[in-house]
Each structure stands twice: as structure tokens, then as C-alpha cells.
Structure 1
Amino acid sequence: MEGDFIKINEWLLPLSWIYGWGVRLRNQMFELGILKSRTFDIPVIAVGNITVGGSGKTPHVEYLINMLCNKVKVAVLSRGYKRKSRGYVLAEADTAMAEIGDEPYQMKRKFKDIYVAVDKDRCHGIDQITGNKETSDTDVILLDDAFQHRYVKPGINILLVDYHRLIMYDKLLPAGRLREPKSGKSRADIVIVTKCPQDLKPMEFRVITKTMNLYPYQKLFFTTLKYGNLKPVYCGPDRELSSINENTHVLLLTGIASPKQMIVDLEPYTKNINPLTFADHHQFIASDIERINRMYAEMEGDDRIIITTEKDNARLFGMKGLSDEVRQHLFVLPVSVDFMLGQEEEFKEKIIGYVRKNSRNSILAKTKDDNKSDNSNNPGNRPRTISFRNH
């Protein structure tokens, strides 16, 4: 059910009140203009959340990339969490994971024709992307995990809310997992409830919609996770997920914020799941490799496999010390998102419509220009950053 992963540490609530006061003060300073938000003359789409931990940001950013990359030149700008470099870094084909972080590294490996950059200062990062000759043909910038980065005012602000950790039932840090008060959702143009069960009932959709209590300018969508075939990390053919059965023993190797959903999704195939869980963005070391080898060797059954995530594989691949047996049975489980309630086309229209109105160099913009009368002096035809709430 919704909110079933929420755990509130009641004894920490006094600290949450202090934390909340500080966050509210910061937000108020932006509202009053004491702290400044910048707009840019290029389409900027931000994807983020107001909770600590995984709400499905990377699969949703990848969904946007897939939607746009054949129509426009896409750049993804991330903070590059836990990277070893500093400042602005533009990923190249041979850039090491340690230089840009695991999630940007994953996206660069999967989408070789897009730009992937990291910069803690998102305004500086956007200036670098638009100002540098090698990336000046960028049509749209996707900001990864930037809902709290208020120094940038995106044209579309997408807020992700985990079905299992609905913000309306959660509390501020450190008692709960909220980074800011629930009222912060008012900045979102689009809210997506992620990781929904595929068999969610119509009544549950209505209850969640009412609970979220969004403004008229905000649009609510629902997505669920979709898994692909298991991909071997080192050797061998793909393996269909349906090939896992009650005789299969799985070592589920994760270093993500919320591995519970993967366990829930794999349990219909087999109950023999042994989780090996590390902290989010965990950097694997030699002792971890020894532990993986040992746990796999101790597993029972003839059909034994290790399943990990794409993000974990970005940090695990290339590590020395994995046994031959582990390397032969190590698989990545790709994940993507599906829109529910037949909402996919509506979502695409909103995103592509925004980019079309504001990007002059893209195929979308040229198509629009070819089909309209000459009206170049109309201010509405100049590139600008817009928000759905203003329309």
C-alpha cells in the first residue's frame, strides 16, 4: 500500500522542527528575492524530489532522454554525487566513473550521443554548456536531482514522489526523510507518483490524487517500474527475467537508497532472495569483493545468480578480485518506467510542446517554423523559459 516504507523516528521530531525552520527561511529568502533564481534562454527541465533516497530519478531522466534525443540535442547536468573531481566536468567516452559519479557515468555509457556534464553549481554548469563551443548546439538541458537547487528557475519542474513514501505521510529530516516541508511541492509543474504497483486499483488512484492536493496548474502522473532481460556483466547471453523460478537462488547486490522495491518485484519469481545491501552510492573496496565471493560460494542450489542494478554496476565493473564463478553469474537488471492510466501521450505532449516553443535550433522548432506564418517580431516566438503554471 502507499506509504508502506515510511518509518518515523518520533524522538527526533524536535530536531526536525529546527531543521524545518532553517529550510523555510531559505525558501522564503528566494520568494522575497533576497536569494536570486536565474532563468535561461534555453529549455531547462529539472527532475528531483523532496525526500532523501531513491524515488526513481535516473529512470525518469533516461525516459526524457529517450523521448528527446532523436529530436533535439540533449545535455544532462548533474551534481555528480561522490565524484573525486571538482568544478565543471564534461564527460567524454573514456571519462572514468570516479570523475563524474555513478549515475552520470551510467547515462553517458547508455546514451553516447548526448552531452553529460557535472557541476555542483548548476548555474555555472548551464553557462558552461551553452557558452562552450563543443556543447553550444545543445537544445535542452535536463537537470538531474535539482528540485532543491533554487538558484536555477527551470521551465519545467518535475517532482517525483515514491508511492511507498508519499510525502504527505512523511516527516522532515531527521525524524523522517523529507528534505523540505510538504508545501515545497507547490513549485512543481508536474508531479509523478513513482514505483506504483502494476495492479493499482482505480480507487487507490483517486485516494492518492486527493491526498496530494495539487493546485490547478499542476498535473499529476503515475508511473510503474518495468524490468528488461538480465544482462551479463562479463560474459554469456542475456537471460529472461521469467527464467527465474522457485529453484533459482538470487544474491541481490545493491548499493541504492531503496532496494525494497526490487525485492518485492522479484519475489513473484522466487522466494530465494538473499539481499546484500550497501549504502547508496557505495564505493566498493577489496573487502566488499571478498564478501561477494564468499556469499555466492555459500549459496545453495544448482541455479545461482547475482543480480545488481545498472547504477551499482557502474561502480562494480572493473573491480579486481571477483572470482571466475561470480563473473560468470553476475547480471544487471535494467529498469525503465511505464506511465499508467494512458497518460504517456499527455506527458510527452507537455514536454515536447515546451521544448518546441523555446528551442530555435532543434528539429522540433524548425518544424514549427515551417508550418507557421512569418511572425518573427512576436515576442512569444523568441527563446525563453516558461512554466506551465503561467499558461
Structure 2
Amino acid sequence: MRTEGDFIHIDEWLIPLSWLYGIGVRFRNWLFDVGILKSKAFDIPVISVGNITVGGSGKTPHVEYLIRLLQDKIKVATLSRGYKRKTRGYVLADDNSTVREIGDEPYQMKQKFSGIYVAVDEKRTRGIENLTTDSATNDVDVILLDDAFQHRYVKPGINILLVDYHRLIMFDRLLPAGRLREPQKGKNRADIVIITKCPKDLKPMEFRVLTKSMDLYPYQDLFFTTIDYDYLVGIFNGAKLPKEGIADRNVLLLTGIASPKQIVVDLESHCKSITPITLKDHHQFSGKDIARLTETYQDLPEPRIILTTEKDATRLQGTEGLDEDIRQNIYVLPIHIRFMLEEEERFNNKILSYVRKNSRNSILVKTKDDNKPRNGNHTGDRPGTISFRDN
């Protein structure tokens, strides 16, 4: 089918090194599986969102989906390592936190969702302990772990694995020949698997082929999501532009993310032309980058516009050297995920059911207690972390 090899490149000459790398990863996983290395469970709902490949699979928009689902009902915290931040240890974000202090993705979430706790810590167990015991955050009801599928020192209640439609793990190889962080069977730890960035026109047969190819266990649930785009928003002028507003424009697409190709695919039929400037993930923009951006933009024929991602926008906002013409014509492209096959309600119910069963002090606990049988034999009182494979 069309997904095989879509964006995958295998360096065949590196396969012997992948074999050696695989020995190390398998040995580490074995140490956790037999209990020599310990995974710690917590008495609070913990939901992990991650992948087993290097590069973007849509973690941030899926975490944001969970935030939107939960934030009006309970107190939500996100915890990540804060990749490329200039600080160390546990840091709780506040309104004055910067990208340098907490990293671009946590900064983006704090800017978009002011009512949640956003924390970073390279040691996730310590981060969870701080969130649940510090007086400033101990009313937290659920913790969302961003990019923690390989961080096995934490045992989440729900493990969500994201698989990029264009880099399906069954066609990939281990690092360094391919992009897999661990062998494909690592997917067996997931309670929920989501194939992300799916084309909107997937046919029923393709869904069936993908489902069979993933070869999941009965305790695992499979979902499919696609990307939708919101209004374009000017980074510096705050102006809003409908996505249809670029139909007659020449677009300069500036990205410093792991996997920008899907954005190009999505936009190329909605604008006059696309000229990409593609930088490494989490790239810090330099004076040389700004000069390249300016020169490329000025070479584009009118009408023209610059588009970038929300994550890149967090780093561009503090960048010097942008001339006024660029500042007035650079827009961020907000995205959100949408569940396919009308499966949104089923996914939402699984998440909410888990949180209800395990919440310590939220309004959802009251809802659970109000509906609990009075004979005292209700099994929903059981504390601790419950995986869907137990349900």
C-alpha cells in the first residue's frame, strides 16, 4: 500500500550497528521486564504519550488534545524532560518562564493552557513526586507524560504509543540504519496505539490493512488520527487569516521540527507554491538563519507569506534581526488532531473512565461516588494505577 517507504530511508550499510544497538536495548528492556530495574507506579492517574521512533509523530498535538479533554473537569499537569532547555532538574513553569528555561514544547503548552501545571524534569519519577507533594501543585488530578514511552522507570496507568502513518514501524529498522529507538515488539507495552498523520481520504480497505499490519494484542486499542489546521495567526501582528486566504499566495514554509513533510503535502494543493526552509528539530535560529530567511522571502514573487509551526514560533518570538516586512507577514499554522472512523467518543470514554477510577481528589471522584452502589461491593474503589488491559 502507499504507506510503505513513504518517508522511510534505511541505511543498509549501518544494519550491523543496528544489530549491536538492538542487543543493548533488548537487554535494558529485559532488566525492566524481570524486575532488576524497577518501574514505579503512582497513586494518581498518569498517562504517557510517546513513540518508539526518533522524530516527530505528533506527540504535542495529542497531548494538547488530552489537555482540552480534561482541563475543564480536573486539574491537569504535563511533565516532560524539557528538551534543549538550559536548566537542569525540576522546574515548574510560571507566567514568566522562557523557552531557554523549560524548552519550546512546554513553553508552547504553558502559553496555550494557562490553567494547567507545566513542569520539566529529566527524571520523571522525581518530577511526579514533586508535582504531587509540593504545596503549589499537590491538587493535581492527572499527569500527562510527554515523550516517555522509553522512560520505563515510571509505570503509567495508560501508555499511548503514536505511530506516524508515513513511518510505520513495521517497515522501519533500528537506529542507526533506521529510526526505531527499540525493536517493534516494544509496542506490546502500549495500552492504546494511534496511527497519526493519516491522509483524510484513507479508504476502508486501507484501514483494515493497517489494522492487520499492526498485529496488536486483544488488550490494545487502535485509533487513527489526522491533522486539521486552524486559522493562521500572525506571530507579531496578531492578525487572523483563514487557511483559504493563502490560495493565491507563494508560501515560504519555515520549520525546525522533526517531520515537516506532511505539512508540505497538506498545503501544496491550497496555495500557489511552497518553498520550504527545513531545519533540525528544536533548532535555535541564528543570525545566519535569519539572513537566509530574509533572502529567500525577498526572492519570492508577490503575493507572498511566511508560515511556520507553533513550536518554531516560540523560538522566533525572541529572535533578533527580523525586518518589519517579515514581522508583518509571518504566520503560525496552528494544528489539532481529529479522530477518524468516528472513534473520538470511544477514545474519550476510555481516558475519562480511567481517570474516574483512579482520581484522588477531583470532581470526578464525587461523580464516581454518587453513582456507586451502596452495598459496599463496588470494585471501582480499588486505588492505584489500572491499565486498560486489566479492564
Secondary structure at the residue paired with 2:216? Answer: coil
Q: Deviations over 1:111-142 (max 9, x none)?
A: 00000000000000000000101000000000
Q: Distance in 2 between matches of 1:147 and 1:19?
A: 18
Partner AA of 1:371 in structure 2:
N
What residue in structure 1 maps to residue 334 of structure 2? Answer: 334
Match of 2:234 in 1: 232
Aligned 8 A contact 1:236 1:328 in 2: no
Aligned to 2:34: 32
Using the size of structure 2 for normalisation, the TM-score is: 0.98
Aligned to 1:357: 357
SS of the counterpart of 2:240? coil
Normalising to structure 1: TM-score of the pair? 0.98
- The yes-or-no answer on 1:109 pairing with 2:111 is yes
- Structure 2: which amino acid aligns with 1:124? R
State the alpha-carbon separation in 2 of the partners of residues 293 and 170 from structure 1: 37
User: What's 1:16 paired with?
Assistant: 18
Distance 1:308 1:160 in 2: 23
Aligned match of 1:269: 270
Question: Contact 1:309/1:332 (CA < 8 Å) preserved in 2?
Answer: yes
Secondary structure of 2:225 counterpart: strand
Q: Secondary structure at the match of 2:314?
A: helix
Q: Return the offset for 1:376.
A: 6.6
- Could you tell which deviates more after superposition, 124-133 or 291-300? 291-300
Q: Distance in 2 between matches of 1:63 and 1:32?
A: 34
Number of equivalenced pairs = 389
Match of 1:201 in 2: 203
1:71: which partner in 2? 73
Q: Structure 2 residue aligned with 1:214, among 199, 213, 216?
A: 216
Q: Give the superposition deviation at 1:375.
A: 6.2
- Deviation (angstroms), 1:278: 0.6
Counterpart Cα distance in 2 of 1:271 and 1:208: 33
Q: RMSD of the TM alignment (CA)?
A: 1.2
- Summarize deviations over 1:210-251 as a string: whole Å, max 9, x none: 000000000000000000010001115211111112x31111
Tell me by how many angstroms 1:383 deviates: 3.0
Moved more, 164-173 or 359-368: 359-368
Pairs within 5 Å for 1:152-301? 152-235=154-237, 237-245=239-247, 247-301=248-302
Letter in 1 for 2:192: I
Does structure 1 retain, via aligned residues, the 8 Å contact 2:372–2:378? no
Q: 1:354 to 1:125 in 2, by over 3 A?
A: same
1:85 equivalent in structure 2? 87
Alignment partners' CA distance in 1, 2:387 and 2:41: 11
Cα deviation digits, residues 35-72 of structure 1 (max 9, x gap): 00000000000000000000000000000000000001
Per the alignment, residue 139 of structure 2 pairs with 137
The residue type equivalent to 2:232 in the other structure is: L
Structure 1 residues 307, 374: closer, same or farther in 2, change over 3 A?
same
Structure 1 residue 291, shift from structure 2 partner? 1.7
Question: In the alignment, what sits opposite 2:309?
Answer: 309
For 1:174, the aligned partner's letter is P
Show CA shifts across 1:319-363 (max 9, x none).
111010000100000000000001000000000000000003111
Counterpart CA distance in 1 for 2:297 and 2:121 is 38
* Separation in structure 1 between the aligned mates of residue 152 and residue 348 of structure 2, nearest angstrom: 25
Instruction: Give the Cα–Cα distance (whole angstroms) in 1 for the partners of residues 374 and 77 of structure 2.
Output: 30
**Unaligned 5+ runs, structure 2:** none
Offset at 1:377? 8.4
Q: Which segment is superposed worse, 274-283 or 230-239?
A: 230-239
- Percent identity over the alignment is 65
Amino acid at match of 1:288: D
Q: Secondary structure at the match of 1:70?
A: coil
Cα distance in 2 for partners of 1:38, 1:237 equals 47
1:325 match: 325
> Does 2:347 align with 1:347?
yes
* Structure 1 residues 76-118: Cα deviation after superposition (integer angstroms, max 9, x where no partner): 0001000000000000011011100000000000000000000
Residue 134 of structure 1 aligns to a residue in which SS? coil
SS at match of 2:241: coil
Q: 2:62 is aligned with what amino acid?
A: H
* Change beyond 3 A, Cα 1:321–1:25: same
Q: 1:236 to 1:26 in 2, by over 3 A?
A: closer
